[in-house]
Structure 1
Amino acid sequence: MSAEIFPLAATTLSGFEEILADELRSFGARDVQIGRRAVTFQGDLGFIYKVNFRSRLALRVLKPIKSFVAINEVAYYARIRSFAWEKIIKPENTMAIRVALNSQTFRHSHFMAQKAKDAIVDRIREKTGDRPNVDTDKPDVPIHIYIERELVTISMDSSGDSLHMRGYRQITGQAPLNEVLAAGIVELSEWDPTTPFYDGMCGSGTLAIEAAIKGLKMPPGLFRKQGYAFEKWPDFDKALFDTIVESSLDRMSDLKLQIYASDDSSNVVAKAKKNIYNAELEDEIEVSHLNFFDLKPKGKRGTVVLNPPYGERMDKENIDELYQKLGDAFKQNWQGHTCFIFSGNLGALKKVGLRSPSKKELFNGSIECRLARFDVYEGSKKHRTDDPS
């Protein structure tokens, strides 16, 4: 008997939709469609487990259970209350509701979450005489609602805590990169794991760790201690989940990686080493207390990814000088390498002095950023040219 196939969705960060779609296809997803900060696809129960455990690029895996059009809050409440919630949520369960919206009709996500909670609680109380409680921290049943104009889609959130919460990062710096953001940057760099990877401003080490996870084909769920929401579903199949975990571990690579993380702050380096230790990647990532401008390549080819300061704590003259020096260092020391700068200072990026064939728009939290690529060819021109783009 074949497993039931149903529609699913995986959410991600803006700009990562296409690479998430590619990742899902590599897992065997069917009917993959790219949306706004999400990718929809078809899969079975085991596929939910697989994406949660193996995806480097998804934030949440959702199972849609109801869609409808609501022209106002009254209709919204009524349609949600009409659903048989008592079959999914028991009075002894806890629940939480997250609402994301892109709508002129409904503008306040917190209010819409409250209305949905009222509808669900009223339905369950009517049918059972009792009601579930809300637990926004560790709910038994997290519900996700997405409103696009007047189309409402309600989903079971199979992940629980966001999948960027890998579990290895216990110590962070002043402006840490989200783990999924770091994984997406590594993916967009098109780094070949048989070549060196350099993170010369490593901060808490997230870019280097996510590069190692990619290079080793390591499932990110390996570090996750808090588990997943689907483990509390009535139809949870532990034997199937255990099989998926084992098969994911069996496919890991034994490739010897060349990943180098460095920073000019000894305190920052200590934090990175602790996180790398937590991820059990000390043998894969070489960490050093070194200024990027003193860092030298280990070979003729490789990938450099930097996340320099955006300038919040530096004046404009100093930040422009820093980015200019980065461009000079690329030309002088990194010929033959592909270099990337991820930054939220779009003006300073123009001071690098090298043409950038691509600048991918991304966001670090609410900060609009660019992932700028610089191909540093052997015999690169020595003269500087401010990038007007």
Structure 2
Amino acid sequence: MSETFFSPCPRSLESFLVDELKRFGASDIETVHGGVQYKGDWLLAWRTNLESRIATRVLWRVGMTRYRSEDEVYKLAYATTWAKWFSPEQTIRVYVTAIKSPLKSLNFTTLKVKDGLCDHFRTVVGKRPSVDTEAPDMRIHAFLTEDMCTLYLDTSGEPLYKRGFKPAKVEAPLKENLAAGILRLSGWQPGESLLDPMCGSGTFLVEAAQMTLNIAPGLGRGFAFEKFRNFDAGEYRRLHTSLLNQRLPVRSLPVFGADIDPYQIAATEENLAAAGLLEQVELVVNDVLDLEPPTAEGTWVSNPPYGVRLSTGDELAEWYPKLGDVLKRRFAGWNCYFLTADTQLAKLIGLRASKKTPLMNGDLDCRLYEYKMLAGSAREVFK
């Protein structure tokens, strides 16, 4: 039976999500700004949760109507057959987002969706679920346009960029699905050299290593759909086992990380170890300005410190030209990518960007700058 799903994703990465969904077997794919709508069966929903590196969630459409008032939103929530899919013993949380909605208060609309859902349960089974704003069993999403209200039941639970293994956190974090999208935007292919010389907690490195070894990103975590009444545990177990068996043998990889801060390298080591990838990635404590390239050519990706988060503007104004000199003198033959919210990088680095892609890193409006360095001689070692 075909169902309708919607997966939000980081802006500018929609085409990569479409590529994934086609590979998973989705049909009737429609792209919108910041996400993709598509159709398929529950196996598709499971696969997307387990295998997508770009999607933020997999939302299952369970109700839709035209509306003009909060009462009509309430009626849709009341008429939706929630009790078929989960029990009143499971906790809920309602989220409402809107574009050009005539309704004046999203908080009040959220309350009406919750009331409709709870009244549905009272009518059908005589009791209502309770709200848990921290770790709900079921997340309900309402999306309002100018005249349409759509209800979704979240099949993912925690957002999909939470891969389920990352214990060490650092300042200026990068979401995993954004990191995976940047790797796709760079044109890097598994098996090619990859360097993050300011690796933070190692997000680029973990994503690249998993991609190279064909490790599905969701294998180590659970999902909300496992709590649905219609969940087929046996069929899901077969899919999960199949993906486990598709992993490639563990081996040393041409994936390299560096950072000037030993604490950051320790965080990267902790996260790589939690992902079972510590021995596959080479790490060093080193200042990016002193770094030598690990191979003759490859892809450099980094989310460098910028004024909003970590450094002062004066410090960065002095640092950016030095960084540009390092690329010119030592990294000939490399394609280099910088994600930053600081437009001073492009002005001061002393290089002409061949491409710049707008991206959002959390609430920060960023650009991914591409610098393709002309090929030349390479240094001998990764120091």
Q: How far off is 1:30 after superposition?
A: 1.8
Q: Give the counterpart letter for 2:230 in structure 1.
A: D
| Ranges in structure 1 where 5+ consecutive residues have no aligned partner | 381-389
2:276 aligned counterpart, secondary structure: coil
Once the two structures are superposed, the pairs formed by residues 274-353 of structure 1 within 5 Å of their partners are 274-312=270-308, 313-353=310-350
Percent identity of the aligned residues?
Answer: 34
* 1:154 correspondence with 2:151: yes
2:156 aligned counterpart, secondary structure: coil
State the distance in 1 between where 2:83 and 2:294 align. Answer: 61
Once the two structures are superposed, the pairs formed by residues 103-118 of structure 1 within 5 Å of their partners are 103-106=100-103, 108-118=105-115
1:220 aligned counterpart, secondary structure: coil
State the distance in 2 between where 1:372 and 1:107 align. Answer: 39
Q: Which residue of 2 aligns with 1:266?
A: 262
Task: Please say if residues 164 and 180 of structure 1, whose CA atoms lie closer than 8 Å, have aligned partners that are also in contact.
Answer: yes
Superposed CA deviations along residues 38-70 of structure 1, whole A, max 9, x for unmatched, are 111121111111111111111111110111111
Superposed CA deviations along residues 220-272 of structure 1, whole A, max 9, x for unmatched, are 11222xx1111111111111111111221222234752000110011111111
Q: Which residue of 2 aligns with 1:251?
A: 246
Once the two structures are superposed, the pairs formed by residues 1-389 of structure 1 within 5 Å of their partners are 4-106=1-103, 108-224=105-221, 227-254=222-249, 256-312=252-308, 313-378=310-375
2:278 aligned counterpart, secondary structure: coil
Task: Please say if residues 339 and 366 of structure 2, whose CA atoms lie closer than 8 Å, have aligned partners that are also in contact.
Answer: yes
Superposed CA deviations along residues 287-339 of structure 1, whole A, max 9, x for unmatched, are 11111122212222200011111113433232122222221111111111100
Change (3 A) 1:109 1:331: farther
Superposed CA deviations along residues 348-389 of structure 1, whole A, max 9, x for unmatched, are 322122111211111111110011110101269xxxxxxxxx
Change (3 A) 1:106 1:256: farther
State the distance in 2 between where 1:221 and 1:317 align. Answer: 41
Q: Which residue of 1 aligns with 2:381?
A: none
State the distance in 1 between where 2:220 and 2:172 align. Answer: 22
Task: Please say if residues 64 and 76 of structure 2, whose CA atoms lie closer than 8 Å, have aligned partners that are also in contact.
Answer: no
Q: How far off is 1:109 after superposition?
A: 3.7
State TM-score, norm by structure 2: 0.93
Change (3 A) 1:128 1:36: same
State TM-score, norm by structure 1: 0.92
| Ranges in structure 2 where 5+ consecutive residues have no aligned partner | 378-383
Q: Give the counterpart letter for 2:264 in structure 1.
A: V
2:92 aligned counterpart, secondary structure: strand
Q: Give the counterpart letter for 1:200 in structure 2.
A: P
Q: Which residue of 1 aligns with 2:380?
A: none
Q: Give the counterpart letter for 2:81 in structure 1.
A: A
Q: How far off is 1:151 after superposition?
A: 1.2
The RMSD of aligned alpha carbons is 1.8
Q: Give the counterpart letter for 1:281 in structure 2.
A: L
Q: How far off is 1:103 after superposition?
A: 2.3
1:207 aligned counterpart, secondary structure: helix
- Residues paired across the two proteins, number: 375
1:170 aligned counterpart, secondary structure: coil
Task: Please say if residues 193 and 257 of structure 1, whose CA atoms lie closer than 8 Å, have aligned partners that are also in contact.
Answer: no
Q: How far off is 1:108 after superposition?
A: 4.4
